[in-house]
Structure 1
Amino acid sequence: MCASTRIVPHMTCISFEFLRPELRGRDFVNGDFTPSELKSVLWTAVDLRDRSTQKNENFSYMRGKSVTILQESGMPDTLSNVALVTAAHRLGGNVARMAFDSNKTDVSDLANCLSEVSSVIAVSCRHQAALQAAADGAAVPVVSLGSEQHDPLTALGELLAVLEHYSYLKRLTLAWVGPCCARLRSFLQLLPPLGIHLRYCCPQEEDLSPEELGDLVGRTVQHHTQFSRHESAAEATYRAHVLATTCHQYDQLQITEKHAAEADLDWTFVQDLPVSRSAVAAAVHGDRQRSLVAASAGCRHWLATALLTELCAEHERRTDRPDFEGERRGVGIGSG
């Protein structure tokens, strides 16, 4: 393919489309996609956004189709819920909602029944096992809106915002400072396939489990990335590109202005809501050029739009493939 690309440059996009992974009918439960699948979703998100906002193109891939949001009782509406609802409407689809009690409901049977009237089922629940049960029982794609164990839509939406900022992903370093939570577990799944290195600093009482650490080792070896655990926020964030955290009350793990000053010159910041001042200094979170918190919310909408498109339809992309590997920027092997 490399030789063909040099001889006939205009064939580059066609070559990538020919190798496009087939995602129709797949589930998006914990973000455990291959590198080519993740890049395909991100590329589609960029393509849909650019053509919708710059060329006023409309897409109706969900016309005559419906998305059912299956939400466990007591689970709050989140930005992911909003992103999926607006994505379904943007694509011409309908949205229905149903609450369930995990103690009284067989989620697998419920998802199987909902498959008769749904094109996609989106699930928000406390336990990942319930989400997996829905995926096992459903005859249509199941998309995660988050559980207490994984939050892939939020994490991948943040990585789309990171891609938009840097124009590449491979060999970037993300520094996580804070307790282990659903977003971090999703980052463990997503970062290695996209070529992103990880540094993390978690409190001992809320650290990665031995099983999670073992899985991370396997993924980094498989995808030739790096990870390291650090005892302080200063060590973890030093020269890192992306500073990441979540709401917590560990004052000693606050990402400060000093940490940002000693990170990469072009550092960025991501965090889910709500924001806690014990997690990050106001100047870091409020930096309009570096903070990607608001941009990530917008990217989550386009990511949800891309997921519904990839899982339910055929979409011909016309936007150039993003430079995930940084090849057009000349990112060297030692960069990051």
Structure 2
Amino acid sequence: MLFNLRILLNNAALRNGPNFMVRNFRCGQPLQNKVQLKGRDLLTLKNFTGEEIKYMLWLSADLKFRIKQKGEYLPLLQGKSLGMIFEKRSTRTRLSTETGFALLGGHPCFLTTQDIHLGVNESLTDTARVLSSMTDAVLARVYKQSDLDVLAKEASIPIINGLSDLYHPIQILADYLTLQEHYGSLKGLTLSWIGDGNNILHSIMMSAAKVGMHLQVATPKGYEPDPNITKLAEQYAKENNTQLSLTNDPLEAARGGNVLITDTWISMGQEEEKKKRLQAFQGYQVTMKTAKLAASDWTFLHCLPRKPEEVDDEVFYSPRSLVFPEAENRKWTIMAIMVSLLTDYSPQLQKPKF
């Protein structure tokens, strides 16, 4: 039932909670949590099942409700510390992680390449071992996925991918929480990706089918997603009875889509390709013309920062745009990741209907 949220407080009886902060957040029957993520790494959603992804979204909604709506103080990470390695600058990843970890009682430590000797004066192996002795987890925002793989192999604490050239899993969890809040369920939604075959798309491809969503992808020729990731995504779609299509026509990908999604065409480190990329992506701007082909309940997502050539103001600032709730949800989902990897806490909010 909509807005009928029940919370188990202090192991007492189930009580009816107040109206939830987001509309259309449907709840199913309360289920005992059987998902255990404590101690694991989060390098890519490829390594997580659909139930595990849903669990992280459930925990995100739980923390958001208890802290933001009810005003509870939950020092679940009291006495714990987090190393934050940033090779690339960030607004949302840094703020969501620092404020979220601190809000849960922990101590985040921000580290840039000017602060540590990551892979230069000190090997990744040595860095991983040192950080393991001083922190409880590491979130690393790096250029190369292979660096994350080394850190995870050598560290004895959870390593979390804050962004790499191949994946951006923490962004996708925020996207899914936003859609869950708006539509009430993820199952059966059609995502229409219009843009680059980049790390954001790769993370969607590694997870959408697992939670029951269809995916329609449009990329310019020469900018398609990684073929190995595409092959695995096709397998996931088959296993989960969802649809996956790839095209070079942005209007074809938009047709019937519930969610129009795009991202920057020029990521950090690709500045020299700007002129070539802008030419290749002509016709890929998301506009109301694009939206006319989408489903009647279409919405729009962009992980930010946004440039006007990617999506025009009419769509970006429209009531259909969920980009700012999406940005806020970076905080609640990263908090849920930290709690799930570092504690035995189980959500008290009724499990959503996914």
- TM-score (structure 2 length as normaliser): 0.84
Contact 1:81 1:145 (C-alpha < 8 Å) held by counterparts? no
Distance 2:233 2:321 in 1: 27
**Segment drifting more, 105-114 vs 31-40:** 105-114
**Segment drifting more, 271-280 vs 40-49:** 271-280
Q: Does 1:285 align with 2:316?
A: yes
Aligned to 2:346: 316
Q: Over residues 131-150 of structure 1, what are the superposed CA-to-partner deviations in whole Å (9 max), with x where a residue is unaligned?
A: 11111111111111101211
> Aligned pair count?
309
* Among 40, 44, 67, the residue aligned to 1:30: 44
Distance 2:303 2:132 in 1: 31
Superposition deviation, residue 314 in structure 1: 2.0
* Among 195, 201, 205, the residue aligned to 1:178: 195
Q: Does 1:296 align with 2:326?
A: yes
Q: Does 1:273 align with 2:304?
A: yes
Q: Which protein has the bigger helix share?
A: 1
Superposition deviation, residue 103 in structure 1: 4.3
Aligned to 1:157: 174
Superposition deviation, residue 209 in structure 1: 3.1
Contact 2:303 2:326 (C-alpha < 8 Å) held by counterparts? no
Q: SS state of the match for residue 45, structure 1? A: helix
**Segment drifting more, 276-285 vs 96-105:** 96-105
Distance 2:236 2:120 in 1: 34
Q: SS state of the match for residue 85, structure 2? A: strand
* Among 249, 252, 255, the residue aligned to 1:235: 252
* Among 287, 291, 300, the residue aligned to 1:260: 291
Q: SS state of the match for residue 133, structure 2? A: coil
- TM-score (structure 1 length as normaliser): 0.88
Aligned to 2:112: 99
Contact 2:201 2:225 (C-alpha < 8 Å) held by counterparts? no
Distance 1:192 1:88 in 2: 30
Distance 1:293 1:110 in 2: 36
Contact 1:123 1:142 (C-alpha < 8 Å) held by counterparts? yes
Q: Does 1:46 align with 2:61?
A: yes
Aligned to 1:111: 128
**Segment drifting more, 218-227 vs 167-176:** 218-227
Distance 2:125 2:211 in 1: 32
* Among 78, 83, 89, the residue aligned to 1:76: 89
Two-structure CA RMSD over aligned residues (Å): 1.6
Distance 1:120 1:13 in 2: 33
Structure 2 residues not aligned, in runs of 5+:
1-13, 15-27, 266-277
Distance 1:252 1:40 in 2: 38
Superposition deviation, residue 102 in structure 1: 3.3
Contact 1:156 1:190 (C-alpha < 8 Å) held by counterparts? no
Contact 1:108 1:135 (C-alpha < 8 Å) held by counterparts? no
